[in-house]
Amino acid sequence: GPRLRLILGDQLNAQHRWFGEVDDATIYVLMEVRQETDYVLHHAQKILAIFAAMRALARQLRAAGHKLHYLAIDDARNLQSIPANIDALAAQYRATAVEYQEPDEWRLDQQLYLHGRRSPIPWLMVDSDHFYTTRNGAADIFMGRKQWLMEFFYRRMRVEHQVLMDDSTKPLGGQWNFDHDNRKPWRGVPAEPADARALHDHSALWKTIVGAGVKSFGNPKADRFAWALDREEALHQLDAFIDNALPQFGDFQDAMSAKAWRLFHSLLSFALNVKMLNPREVVARAEAAYQAGRAPLAAVEGFIRQILGWREYVRGVYWANMPGYAEKNFFGHTRALPGWFWDGKTRMNCLSHAITQSLEQAHAHHIQRLMVIGNFALLAGLDPAQVHRWYLGVYIDAFEWVELPNTVGMSQFADGGLLATKPYVSSAAYIDRMGDYCKGCHYDKKLRVGERACPFNALYWDFFQRNAATLERNPRIGMVYRQLAKMDEAEIADFQRQARSVTGNLDSL
């Protein structure tokens, strides 16, 4: 009998070694299942993008001569669970073996492993041919260390893969990190590059998804769908990014603006995470742009660090901490998300913008995720598990292996500081410095107390005050505690009262 080869929805790598030759004894299997649409409430665009991209890959593989069985969401024979469908197909085709690529999510890895072990035919897992490191790569590098410094990992990666190196051990430009040059606000010049993504009409597929009963949130934009759905489109987007945005990527990496939602970011995370693009080719293109004198080193280094550094590193953090990472709650926060996480309707201009954009585009850039939404969630004491589920659902690029360490670790400090050397929180001052949100805001960025006071301010001081016992000795936040020490009791009581009033009225901010 033939062997079945399962391709998961985030394994759309047309260059995988599997497809090197056409083999009549192999049947590729792709399936759209409720198991995957329903494990969290997803943004409409995320479901649509994954299904449409799966369908595109299936067409491409069939055209290349591969045998393939595609189970659509509305197929009457679809059992809506991956193992159940595989068992049924194995019986139908009298398959003698099942193969699958290493899943990136713990939940799927467990499910397939446990099911395969009980199956009468062998189940074999192969590499997904995607990442630089193995699942345990980071754990090996950090063996026995309490804190996992990304920078340490990143330098090892630069040397190991000889990226932006002068000779085999020295970094190009004599520096590993150009972050100091990379922290500029954006005042409108140069203009935001045009959105390079092609628009498609996926209304018919969207109808099928809704008709099958799949629940979702956010704007589907089905008739003007913008995410790259195959390798060719993703490569086009990569080219446009390298030419038009990479030169400014460094300068405006941390900038925020109500007038520009993408700024100089690549919007490549979806294509990368579903494996239409390989991180090596993205890194190589950026490095080549520097070598050709088309982008400055600071921008290229900053961009490469996100992919060769952060992306691989968070994956290692994930595998070293699963299962159980999603339940971490260092500060014991328990508040529910305010309702405006689902409609963007708050008078806080920064949050209204970042959330409305997330619902419209299924995307927000890093600083919106970290220093607006995540910052507020941590200061307001929102339950990190709920915050995690919101992030996992809303973003087009959200797959647990990358979303969870970023949300629970980096943004909510819920792991007690494994990834982050200090909690990423700020008062209004930082948000005002890096963007233009405060100008149009109902609240006053300068005030700490009173009706018009920016909620971030009192929450910020209250956060450090109530967590003094655990955070005071952290040398990276010594400044905050020196300032607190200078405040008198009345000042402290004032911001505490204000913070209580804010957290008591989250829904009406």
By C-beta, is 10 or 436 nearer to ligand SF4? 436
Q: Which two tokens stand for residue 311?
A: 């992306």
Partner in contact with 454, chosen from ligand FAD, ligand SF4, none, beta carbon below 5 to 8 Å by kind: ligand SF4
| Chain-centre distance for alpha carbon 185 | 23
Q: Which amino acid is at 397?
A: D
By C-beta, is 86 or 419 nearer to ligand FAD? 419
378 binds ligand SF4 (CB under 6 A): no
Q: Which two tokens stand for residue 193?
A: 């590059």
Say how far apart CA 62 and CA 177 lie, in whole Å.
45
By C-beta, is 257 or 266 nearer to ligand SF4? 257
Minimum Å gap between C-beta 446 and ligand SF4 is 9
Task: Please report, as residue ranges, which positions from 406 to 435 form the binding site for ligand SF4 (by CB under 6 A).
Answer: 428, 431-432
Q: Please select the residue that binds ligand SF4; options are 66, 202, 445, 448, rule is CB under 6 A.
A: 445
Minimum Å gap between C-beta 507 and ligand SF4 is 15
Q: Which region, judged by CB under 6 A, interacts with ligand FAD, from 63-71, 182-190, 223-231, 405-413?
A: 405-413
Residue 421 to residues 136, 150, 456, Cα–Cα distance (Å): 22, 10, 21
Contacts of 90 by beta carbon, 8 Å cutoff, 6+ apart: 4, 98, 119, 121
Say how far apart CA 454 and CA 445 lie, in whole Å.
5
310 binds ligand FAD (CB under 6 A): yes
Q: Which amino acid is at 142?
A: F
Minimum Å gap between C-beta 114 and ligand FAD is 26
Q: Please select the residue that binds ligand FAD; options are 13, 45, 182, 266, rule is CB under 6 A.
A: 266
Say how far apart CA 228 and CA 322 lie, in whole Å.
31
Are the C-beta atoms of 378 and 437 separated by less than 8 Å?
no
Minimum Å gap between C-beta 447 and ligand SF4 is 9
Q: Which residue has the tokens 């972050």?
A: 179
Beta bridge partners of 225: 200
List the one residue out of 345, 343, 336, 319 whose CA is nearest residue 387.
336
Minimum Å gap between C-beta 438 and ligand SF4 is 3
Q: Please select the residue that binds ligand SF4; options are 443, 460, 463, 464, rule is CB under 6 A.
A: 443
Residue 452 to residues 210, 353, 509, Cα–Cα distance (Å): 42, 19, 11
Minimum Å gap between C-beta 105 and ligand FAD is 11
Minimum Å gap between C-beta 217 and ligand SF4 is 23
265 binds ligand FAD (CB under 6 A): yes
List the one residue out of 329, 323, 502, 324 whose CA is nearest residue 428.
502
Partner in contact with 441, chosen from ligand FAD, ligand SF4, none, beta carbon below 5 to 8 Å by kind: ligand SF4
Site string for ligand SF4, 335-364 (x = CB under 6 A): -------------xxx--------------
163 binds ligand FAD (CB under 6 A): no
Task: Please report, as residue ranges, which positions from 34 to 73 form the binding site for ligand SF4 (by CB under 6 A).
Answer: none
By C-beta, is 186 or 225 nearer to ligand SF4? 186
By C-beta, is 29 or 282 nearer to ligand FAD? 282
299 binds ligand FAD (CB under 6 A): no
Q: 167: buried, middle or exposed (CB in 10 Å: 19+, 13-18, 0-12)?
A: exposed
Site string for ligand FAD, 369-388 (x = CB under 6 A): xx---x--------------
Partner in contact with 369, chosen from ligand FAD, ligand SF4, none, beta carbon below 5 to 8 Å by kind: ligand FAD
By C-beta, is 216 or 306 nearer to ligand FAD? 306
Q: Which region, judged by CB under 6 A, interacts with ligand SF4, from 154-162, 252-260, 390-398, 439-447?
A: 439-447
Say how far apart CA 491 and CA 159 lie, in whole Å.
51
Contacts of 466 by beta carbon, 8 Å cutoff, 6+ apart: none
Say how far apart CA 442 and CA 466 lie, in whole Å.
27
Q: At what angle do helices 231-244 and 279-291 cross, to 10 degrees?
A: 30
Minimum Å gap between C-beta 447 and ligand FAD is 27
Are the C-beta atoms of 168 and 162 separated by less than 8 Å?
yes
List the one residue out of 337, 265, 313 whose CA is nearest residue 420.
313
Q: 228: buried, middle or exposed (CB in 10 Å: 19+, 13-18, 0-12)?
A: buried
326 binds ligand SF4 (CB under 6 A): no
Q: Please select the residue that binds ligand FAD; options are 242, 255, 398, 480, rule is CB under 6 A.
A: 398
Partner in contact with 398, chosen from ligand SF4, ligand FAD, none, beta carbon below 5 to 8 Å by kind: ligand FAD
Say how far apart CA 31 and CA 36 lie, in whole Å.
10
Q: Please select the residue that binds ligand FAD; options are 5, 42, 311, 448, rule is CB under 6 A.
A: 311
268 binds ligand FAD (CB under 6 A): yes
What is the DSSP-derived secondary structure letter of residue 225? B
Q: Please select the residue that binds ligand SF4; options are 264, 331, 390, 456, rule is CB under 6 A.
A: 456
Q: Which two tokens stand for residue 103?
A: 């899943």
Q: Please select the residue that binds ligand FAD; options are 45, 358, 375, 406, rule is CB under 6 A.
A: 406
Say how far apart CA 317 and CA 148 lie, in whole Å.
8
Residues that bind ligand FAD (CB under 6 A): 265-269, 272-273, 306-307, 310-311, 314, 365-366, 369-370, 374, 391, 395, 397-398, 402-403, 406-407, 410-411
> Contact residues for ligand SF4 (CB under 6 A)?
348-350, 428, 431-432, 437-438, 441, 443, 445, 454, 456
